[in-house]
Chains A and B, each alone.
Chain A
Amino acid sequence: MKSKPLQILAPGIADFRRDDQKAGHYVSDKKGERMVATHCCYCGVQCGMYLRVSGEGKVFGVEPRDHDINKMKLCPKGVTAYQQVDHPDRLTSPLMRDRRGDPLREVSWDAALDRVVSEIRRIQKAHGPDAFAVYSGSSLTTEKCYLMGKFARVALATKHVDYNGRLCMVSAAAANRKAFGLDRAANPWSDMLETEVILLLGANVGECFPVATQYFWGARDLGAKLITVDPRETPLARTADIHVPLRPGTDAAFCNGLLHVIEREGLIDADFIARRTVGWEAVRDRVREYTPEKVGEICGLDPTLIERVALTWGRASKAMAFHARGIEHHIQGVDNCLSVINLVLATGHFGKPGAGYGTITGQGNGQGGREHGQKSDQLPGQRLIEDPQARAHICKVWGITDDELPRAGTSAVEMVHQAEAGEIKGWLGICNNPFVSMPDSTRIARGYDSLEFHCQIDFFLSETCDRADVVLPGTSWAEDEGVSTNAEGRVIKYNKATEPPGLARPDWWIVCEIARRLGHHADKFQFSGPREIFEELRVASAGGVADYSGMTYERIEQGDGIFWPCPSEDHPGTPRLFEERFAHPDGLARFHPIEWRPPAEEVDDKYPLRLTTGRTVAHYLSGNQTRRIDALVQQTPRPWVEVHPSHGYANGDPVRVVSRRGSATYPALVVSTIREDTVFVPYHWAGKVAANLMTVDALDPTSKIPQFKVCSCRIEPGTEIDEPPPPPVPPGVRAYEEGIGADRGQPSTPQGRGTGQG
C-alpha cells in the first residue's frame, strides 16, 4: 500500500511519486550484469535501447542507446517497457477450458496443442478449409508475421488470414500503392531537418510517437514552419506556427481546399507535374470546386485559415507532409491520404532532402507486418496475391502448387462479422486484442462468442485471451530475436535478452508445432529459429516491392538499420524513395481526384456531437501491455471524456457518452483545447469503459479500415462513473491492483496526472 503523508506535514512535502511495488522490485545484483542492444517493442518509431540483464538472466532495467533513430531518447512507455518481461502477470503455461463459461486451467503443451489440432481438423473437415481463420498482429517480428501468413495459407490452406494493421494504417498503405505503386514512407525522418514547412495531419506525435518530436522540432529550430491539423490542440499543436482545428471527418475537403488556393495562386510545380505524374487535370478540375468558403463550411473553419496554410505550403521551396490515424481511420481513409498526396505531388515536393511525404506507422512493426504476407490480399515482398507472377514466385519458394495457394481473403473486422454469421467457425489469434481494439465491441464479442473454437497466443492474458478456449503462452519481444521495420521503412533488429518464463515458448515454435502436428505440408515448417525464417523471407521477398534479399542480421546491426528495398548484399538500402522515379511501371506517380463525402454517421438532433477516439502517451493500443505497468497506470489510471467548457460541465463530473451502439460514463476533462462540437475518449481500456462500445464499424471500401475517428454521439450528466476493470490474469495470479486499486483519480490533462497529484 502506498503510504499517505502525515497530516502535520506541509502540503507537497512528501508527494513524490513512488513505485516500490513494481519498478522498485527490479534491482541489480551487480554481479555479471550485461546489456543487450535491442529496440523498444511499442510504436513505429522503434527506438534503440539496451536491456539490462542480471547475472541470473533476469531483465531488470533499461539504458538509453545512441541509435540513429532515437539518439538515446525514450518515452515513458519505452523507459518502462522492460517491466513487462519479468512481470507477475506473464502467461507461463498453456491454458484451456472445456466449455465457454468454465474457468481457464493450466494444461500441458501436448494437451493444448492436441486440442488445437483436433479442432482445426474437425472444423475444416466439416465446413471446408476457409472456415478456420488466422488473425495476426504487427507487434510481432517480421519473421513471425511472415510465418503467420505462410502458416495460414500452406498449413491451414485457408484464405482467411489478416492482421491488426487493418485497424492501423492500411488506408495509407492503399493510398501509397495507388499513387506511387509502393507502400512506404518516402523519406527518412532526418530529411525533416532540411525542410521549410511541415504539414502534420491527424497525428498526435507528442503522445503517440513522442520521440519523433525531435525531428519535427529539430526542423523548427532551424527555421521551418510547423502546421498541425487536428480537432484537438495536441502538445505539438500548442506551439505550432499554424494550428487547424478542423471538424473530424472533413480532411479530404480541407486538403482539396489547400490545393484549390495553391492552384489559383499559380503555386503548383508545373514542371514536376508534367515530367513525373499523370492525372493532374482531373484533380485540378475537382479542386476548383473546393473554394475556401465551401471548405470552411464543411470543416468548421475560418476560410482565411485555409488560405494561410495553403500559401505557407505553396510558397515553400521544400515542404513535407506527414499523417497518421487521424485522417486514416475513416470510411474515406484512402481518399484522405490521396488528397494529401495530391497536394505534395502538385507542388513537386518529392525525392529530395527536405521534400517528401510519409505516414507515421502506429505499431512497432506496422510496416514490416504488412509487407510479408499476413495481409489478406498480399504475399511476401508486398506482392499482390491475385497477381499470377507473384503467386508463381511464392509457390516456388514455398514448394506448393498454384491450386494449393488460397486466393485473397477478407479483412479483420469482416472476418469477425463472418464469424457472427457462422461462415467462420474456428479462429487462431496472435498478438491482438480485438475485444478492446475493434469498433462496436459488443458486436465483436458476439462474433467471437459465435465461434466453435477460439485459440489465442499472447504473453499476457488479454481480454480476448480471457474468452478463448485455448490460450498459448508466447514470448515478449525481449525473449526472441528478429527484425522489425519502423515507420521510416528502416529495418532494425531485436535481440534476445532472456529466456521465456515458465513453459512459455517462442511464437514461431508454437506455430510450427501446430503445423507439424497437423501434418499438412509439415516439412515446410521445419525452422530451428528466427534466423532460418529470415533467410527464407529474404528469398521470398526477392524481386518484390519490399525487397529484403540483400539484408542480413549482421548488416542490419552494423549500420543502424537498413531501409528497403535492399536487393543485394552490396546494396546500401534506400532511405529516400522516388528521387528519380515512382514505383509504377512507367515511373510516374498518379493523381486521384477526390470528392469529399460525409462520414458514415452524421450528427442529428439526438446525437449532435462527434466522438473521436485516440491514444494517450502513457498507454499503448489495447492496453494489454501498459495497463499492467505501475508507472504508466499512475500517470494515467483511467479513461476520461474530453469536453469543451461550453457544455457546462466541471472537471470530474460524471458524463455519460451515448452513441447509437453503446454508452459509458467517464469523468469529464474540461478543456478549451478541443472543438465545441467534438468529444474525445481514449481507447486503451476494456469492459464498461471501452471507447469502442460507442464507435461505429463502418469500413473504408478499399482499405477496410474502421471509421474510429468519428461517430455521432451525445453527452449527458451521468450518475456514477464507470470504473475500468483490472487487466485479466492467469489462474493463481493475484489481480494487479497497485496503482489503480488504490487511486483512480482522473487525469488532469490529456497526458495524464502531474507528479504533484499522485
Chain B
Amino acid sequence: MKKLLFIDPGRCIGCQACVAACRECDSHKGRSMIHLDYVDTGNSTAAMPTVCMHCSDPVAPCAQVCPVDAIPIDTNGVVGTASPELCIGCGNCVHACPFGVPKLDVPEMIQYKCDLCYDRSSQGLTPMCASVCPTDALFFGTEEELLAKRPAAQAVDVFGFGEQMIQTGNAVIAPAGRSQDSIPGGYSVWAEFLPEQMK
C-alpha cells in the first residue's frame, strides 16, 4: 500500500512547524518549499499548508510545460524539484501549477519546489514537514494507517480545474461528510453539484 501525504486544513493550527522544518533540509537549507496561508484572517485562526500534490494524471503540469525537461518524475510518481543543471529559470512551471507550488529563486534563476523530501520518502521515511507537524494536519502514511487514527476521515485526490481533472499523488482530507462538496484548490469529481463550466 502506497504511503502518501494527507493534508487536513481542518487540523492546521498555523504554527508553521512545517515551514521551519522544510528549510532544514540539506538540499535547500534556509529555503522553505511550503506555503502556509492564513485563509480567513480577521474571522478565524484557520490556516492551511500547501505542499506539492505530486500530480499523476495527466503528467504533472509543471513537468509537462518545462521546455528543458528539468523536472524529474520517479517511478513512484514523485515529482522532483527542477534539476539545477537543467533549469533555465523560465518560470513556466510556476504558472502551470494549479496549486501554486513551485517558486523561482530570482537571483539564482532556478526553480525550487517540494520533492516530498525525496531523500527521506524514497527510503520509506516520513518527509520533514509531516514528521514534525504537531497535529497531523500533514500526515504521511497509507490510507489504512490514516483511518486507524481517524476513523471518520475522508480523503480526496482528484481535483477539477475548469474542465481539467487532475489526479494527485497526495490527498486532501475533506471536512466530515463533505467529500462531495467543493474543497480548497478545486472540486472533487464526485461532486453532485459541479459548477456549470465543469459539467
Query: How many whole Å from A33's CB to the nearest CB in chain B?
Result: 10
Residues from chain A with a CB closer than 8 A to the CB of B46 are: 238
Is A410 in the interface zone, CB < 8 Å from B? Answer: no
Distance of A460 Cα from B13 Cα, bound (Å)? 30
A236 close to B13 (CB less than 8 A): yes
| Known contacts A210-B15, A235-B13, A754 near B43 by CB under 8 Å | no
Distance of A206 Cα from B135 Cα, bound (Å)? 9
Is A363 in the interface zone, CB < 8 Å from B? Answer: no
B24 close to A16 (CB less than 8 A): no
A79 close to B47 (CB less than 8 A): no
Q: Which of A5-13, A101-109, A147-155, A433-441 contacts B (4 or more CB under 8 A)?
A: A5-13
Q: For chain B, which range describes its interface: under 10, 10 to 19, 20 to 34, or 35 or more residues?
A: 35 or more
A15 close to B103 (CB less than 8 A): yes
A755 close to B150 (CB less than 8 A): no
Distance of A64 Cα from B107 Cα, bound (Å)? 32
Is B133 in the interface zone, CB < 8 Å from A? Answer: yes
* B residues 2-50 in Cβ contact with A at 8 Å: 10-11, 13-17, 19-21, 23-24, 26, 29-38, 41-47
B68-97 to A contact mask, C-beta < 8 Å, 1/0: 000000000000000000000001001100
Distance of A62 Cα from B17 Cα, bound (Å)? 13
Distance of A15 Cα from B19 Cα, bound (Å)? 13
B10 close to A3 (CB less than 8 A): no
A214-230 to B contact mask, C-beta < 8 Å, 1/0: 10011001100000000
* Nearest A residue to B107, CB-CB: A3
* Nearest A residue to B19, CB-CB: A755
| Known contacts A9-B106, A13-B103, A75 near B15 by CB under 8 Å | yes
Residues from chain B with a CB closer than 8 A to the CB of A755 are: 16, 19, 32, 34-37
| Known contacts A16-B33, A17-B32, A748 near B17 by CB under 8 Å | no
Is B149 in the interface zone, CB < 8 Å from A? Answer: yes
Is B134 in the interface zone, CB < 8 Å from A? Answer: yes
Residues from chain B with a CB closer than 8 A to the CB of A24 are: 29-31
- Among A5, A631, A651, A749, the residue within 8 A (CB) of B106 is A5
A672 close to B43 (CB less than 8 A): yes
B114-126 to A contact mask, C-beta < 8 Å, 1/0: 0000000000001
Query: How many whole Å from A190's CB to the nearest CB in chain B?
Result: 14
A235 close to B45 (CB less than 8 A): yes
How many chain A residues touch B (CB < 8 A): the figure is 67
B29 close to A26 (CB less than 8 A): yes
Query: How many whole Å from B20's CB to the nearest CB in chain A?
Result: 4
Is B162 in the interface zone, CB < 8 Å from A? Answer: no
B121-142 to A contact mask, C-beta < 8 Å, 1/0: 0000010100111111000000
A74 close to B19 (CB less than 8 A): no
Query: How many whole Å from B135's CB to the nearest CB in chain A?
Result: 5
| Known contacts A3-B107, A64-B132, A79-B132, A10 near B95 by CB under 8 Å | yes
- Among B32, B37, B152, the residue within 8 A (CB) of A16 is B32
- Among B20, B38, B94, B134, the residue within 8 A (CB) of A213 is B134
Distance of A214 Cα from B137 Cα, bound (Å)? 10
* Nearest A residue to B10, CB-CB: A239
Residues from chain A with a CB closer than 8 A to the CB of B19 are: 17, 76, 631, 635, 755
Query: How many whole Å from A360's CB to the nearest CB in chain B?
Result: 14
A751 close to B14 (CB less than 8 A): yes
Query: How many whole Å from B148's CB to the nearest CB in chain A?
Result: 10
B16 close to A751 (CB less than 8 A): yes
Residues from chain A with a CB closer than 8 A to the CB of B165 are: none
Query: How many whole Å from B18's CB to the nearest CB in chain A?
Result: 9
Query: How many whole Å from A231's CB to the nearest CB in chain B?
Result: 14
| Known contacts A76-B20, A235-B13, A211 near B30 by CB under 8 Å | no
Query: How many whole Å from A620's CB to the nearest CB in chain B?
Result: 13
Is B105 in the interface zone, CB < 8 Å from A? Answer: yes
Query: How many whole Å from B61's CB to the nearest CB in chain A?
Result: 16
A751 close to B47 (CB less than 8 A): yes
Query: How many whole Å from A232's CB to the nearest CB in chain B?
Result: 9
Distance of A335 Cα from B69 Cα, bound (Å)? 68
- Count chain A CB atoms within 10 A of each CB in B14, B35, B46, B128 and give the residue with the most: B14
- Among B16, B131, B150, the residue within 8 A (CB) of A635 is B16
A631 close to B23 (CB less than 8 A): yes
Distance of A362 Cα from B112 Cα, bound (Å)? 38
Distance of A238 Cα from B41 Cα, bound (Å)? 13
| Known contacts A23-B24, A80-B20, A14 near B103 by CB under 8 Å | yes
Residues from chain A with a CB closer than 8 A to the CB of B29 are: 23-24, 26-27
Is B177 in the interface zone, CB < 8 Å from A? Answer: no
Residues from chain A with a CB closer than 8 A to the CB of B112 are: 16
Distance of A15 Cα from B45 Cα, bound (Å)? 22
Residues from chain A with a CB closer than 8 A to the CB of B150 are: 221
Query: How many whole Å from B19's CB to the nearest CB in chain A?
Result: 6
Query: How many whole Å from B124's CB to the nearest CB in chain A?
Result: 14
A12 close to B32 (CB less than 8 A): no
Distance of A235 Cα from B20 Cα, bound (Å)? 19
Is A201 in the interface zone, CB < 8 Å from B? Answer: no
Distance of A672 Cα from B26 Cα, bound (Å)? 41
Distance of A521 Cα from B125 Cα, bound (Å)? 55
Residues from chain B with a CB closer than 8 A to the CB of A518 are: none
Query: How many whole Å from B50's CB to the nearest CB in chain A?
Result: 9
Query: How many whole Å from B113's CB to the nearest CB in chain A?
Result: 9
Residues from chain A with a CB closer than 8 A to the CB of B151 are: 221-222
B43 close to A673 (CB less than 8 A): yes
A16 close to B103 (CB less than 8 A): yes
Query: How many whole Å from B105's CB to the nearest CB in chain A?
Result: 7
The 6 closest A-B pairs by CB, nearest first: A24-B30, A235-B13, A206-B13, A751-B14, A79-B20, A76-B20
Q: Interface residues, chain B, CB within 8 Å of chain A?
A: 10-11, 13-17, 19-21, 23-24, 26, 29-38, 41-47, 91, 94-95, 100, 103-107, 112, 126, 128, 131-136, 149-152
With A72-B131, A206-B135, A754-B38 given, name 7 new contacts (CB 8 A): A20-B30, A23-B24, A23-B30, A74-B134, A78-B17, A234-B45, A236-B13
A selection of 23 A-B contacts at a CB cut-off of 8 Å is A9-B104, A10-B94, A17-B32, A18-B31, A23-B23, A25-B30, A26-B29, A73-B131, A74-B17, A78-B17, A79-B17, A206-B14, A207-B13, A210-B17, A213-B13, A221-B152, A235-B13, A236-B13, A617-B14, A617-B16, A631-B19, A645-B42, A752-B14
